[in-house]
């Protein structure tokens, strides 16, 4: 893979060379990350996301624009409020840096992976942003808010409808295969794309719902909230069934390993200890979006 040549040769829609464009996208990601921090803090507390401006939770001093620069302000202020010196959570710069890094990774994946600018980029960036918010909210509150998952499902369907017009069967991972399926081969590509969304949503949300239902019947306890199911409706509709099955696989493996490690560390034997599964599904979704197709073809090549 001649990735360095691509870095030099590829052009960005704005006429920028790729390295410069990557820096621009990374900065955009850090700014979006700053917004995600507001969403992560306020949404579970049912506060408005738009008003009021950010304030220090300790002394209520409004935070100046110059103290609100992603990552940098935290470093300059050494992690403390300028007025009252209360420590600021390291989660703020972490989310900003993570969003910036993931934006660059998605940008390189989409632009270089597809040999040029792609209409999928803004959609992939929005998808990853929603997942970051869900991961951090689930980590803190053990909920996956409908205010993100419901619009997320609508967003996935809009992308499914729109992107095939712009990119044909390249738009989604499952389209090339689905377009060759007997019942679907006569349909226009946007209809195949929507059928793929429904199939993916069933593979994601449907299978999780079924697992939860079985677990409840067997153990007589509630296994998981419907938040995970709704989140996987969104993920499934967007990624398609192949990458969604991989996402669930990655989520179950990493959650089980983490659960075992935690049990060993704490000496607990309680299998019902609740882990926020949304974290693992969210991380799995991002991995599946970026390298899922490669993992699947590598796996298929083993046989
Ligand atoms: Zn303060």
On whether both 97 and 138 belong to a single domain, the answer is: no
Residue 113: inside a domain, yes or no? no
Instruction: Say if residue 128 is in the same domain as residue 85.
Output: no
Q: Does the pLDDT value for residue 2 go beyond 60?
A: no
pLDDT at 180 over 50: yes
- 132 & 182 share domain: yes
The domain in which residue 94 lies consists of: 1-101
Whether residue 10 lies inside any domain: the answer is: yes
Q: Are residues 155 and 94 in the same domain?
A: no
Largest CA distance in the chain: 67
In a domain, 108, yes or no: no
156 and 129 inside one domain: yes
Q: What percent of the chain has pLDDT above 90?
A: 63
Q: Are residues 261 and 169 in the same domain?
A: yes
The count of structural domains within the chain is: 2
CA of 55 relative to ligand 1 center, distance in Å: 8
Distance 31 CA to ligand 1 centre (A): 22
- What confidence score (pLDDT) does residue 179 get? 87
Same-domain pairing of 216 and 294: yes
Torsional class of 74: left (φ above 0), alpha (ψ -120 to 50), beta (otherwise): alpha
- Taking CA atoms, 138 is separated from 90, 112, 132, 216, 230, in Å, by 17, 32, 10, 21, 13
For position 82, what pLDDT does the model report? 92
The predicted structure's pLDDT at residue 3: 52
Last residue of a domain, one of 73, 101, 129: 101
73/135 same-domain check: no
Is 111 part of a structural domain of the chain? Answer: no
What is the distance in A from the centroid of ligand 1 to the CA of 62? 9
- Per-residue pLDDT at 95: 97
Residue 11: strand pairing partners:
17
Torsion, Cα 126 131 134 136, to 10 degrees, reads: -110
Domain membership flag for residue 112: no
Ligand 1 centroid, distance to 92 Cα (angstroms): 15
Shared domain for 222 and 294, answered yes or no, is yes
Q: 230-254 burial by CB neighbour count: b if 16+ within 10 A, else e?
A: bbbbbbbbbbbbbbbbbbbebbeeb
Do 242 and 133 belong together in one domain? Answer: yes
Residue of 113 and 130 predicted with greater confidence? 130
The CA distances from residue 251 to 75, 195, 247, 259, 276, in Å, are 33, 25, 6, 12, 11
pLDDT above 50: residue 1: no
Residue 138 pLDDT greater than 90, yes or no = yes
H or E segment at 265? Answer: helix 241-266
Give residue 218's pLDDT band: very low, low, confident or very high (50, 70, 90). Answer: confident
Q: How far is the CA of 124 from the centre of ligand 1 (A)?
A: 36
Last residue of some domain: 101, 136, 166? Answer: 101
Average pLDDT of 238-256? 96
Distance 67 CA to ligand 1 centre (A): 12
**Domain-located, residue 296:** yes
Average model confidence (pLDDT) across the chain: 89
Look at residue 63 and tell me if it is in a domain.
yes
Q: Tell me if 110 is assigned to some domain.
A: no
Asked whether residue 148 falls in the same domain as residue 290, the answer is yes
d(CA 170, CA 276): 34
Q: 155 CA to middle of ligand 1, Å?
A: 37
| DSSP-derived secondary structure letter, 169 | G
266 pLDDT exceeds 90? Answer: no
How far away, in angstroms, is 267 Cα from ligand 1 center?
39
What are the pLDDT digits (tens) for 38-65?
A: 999 999 998 888 777 788 888 989 888 8
Distance (Å) from CA 29 to ligand 1 centroid:
26
Q: pLDDT tens-digit profile of 82-126?
A: 999 999 999 999 999 999 999 999 999 998 877 777 899 999 999
Cross-strand bridge partners of residue 13: none
* d(CA 137, ligand 1 centre) in Å: 23
Same-domain status, 282 and 169: yes
Is 7 a residue whose pLDDT tops 70?
Answer: no
Q: pLDDT tier at 273 (50, 70, 90 boundaries)?
A: low
């Amino acid at each position: 893979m001649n990735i360095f040549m691509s870095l030099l040769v590829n052009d960005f829609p704005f006429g920028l060379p790729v390295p410069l464009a990557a820096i621009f996208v990374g900065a955009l990601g850090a700014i979006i990350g700053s917004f995600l921090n507001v969403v992560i803090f306020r949404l579970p507390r049912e506060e408005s996301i738009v008003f009021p401006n950010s304030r220090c939770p300790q002394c209520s001093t409004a935070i100046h624009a110059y103290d609100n620069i992603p990552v940098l302000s935290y470093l300059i202020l050494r992690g403390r409020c300028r007025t009252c010196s209360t420590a600021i959570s390291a989660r703020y710069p972490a989310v900003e840096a993570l969003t910036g890094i993931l934006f660059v990774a998605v940008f390189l994946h989409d632009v270089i992976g597809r040999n040029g600018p792609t209409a999928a980029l803004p959609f992939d960036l929005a998808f990853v942003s929603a997942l970051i918010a869900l991961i951090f909210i689930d980590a803190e509150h053990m909920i996956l808010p409908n205010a993100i998952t419901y619009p997320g499902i609508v967003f996935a369907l809009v992308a499914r409808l729109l992107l095939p017009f712009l990119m044909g069967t390249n738009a989604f991972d499952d389209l090339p295969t689905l377009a060759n399926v007997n019942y679907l081969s006569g349909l226009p590509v946007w209809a195949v794309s929507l059928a793929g969304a429904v199939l993916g949503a069933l593979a994601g949300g449907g299978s999780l719902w079924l697992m939860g239902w079985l677990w409840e019947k067997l153990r007589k306890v509630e296994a998981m909230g419907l938040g995970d199911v709704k989140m996987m409706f969104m993920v499934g509709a967007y990624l398609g069934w192949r990458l969604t099955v991989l996402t669930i696989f990655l989520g179950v493996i990493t959650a089980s390993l983490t659960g075992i490690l935690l049990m060993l560390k704490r000496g607990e034997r309680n299998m019902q200890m609740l882990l926020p599964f949304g974290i693992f599904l969210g991380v799995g979704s991002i991995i599946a979006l970026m390298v899922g197709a490669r993992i699947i073809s590598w796996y298929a090549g083993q046989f």
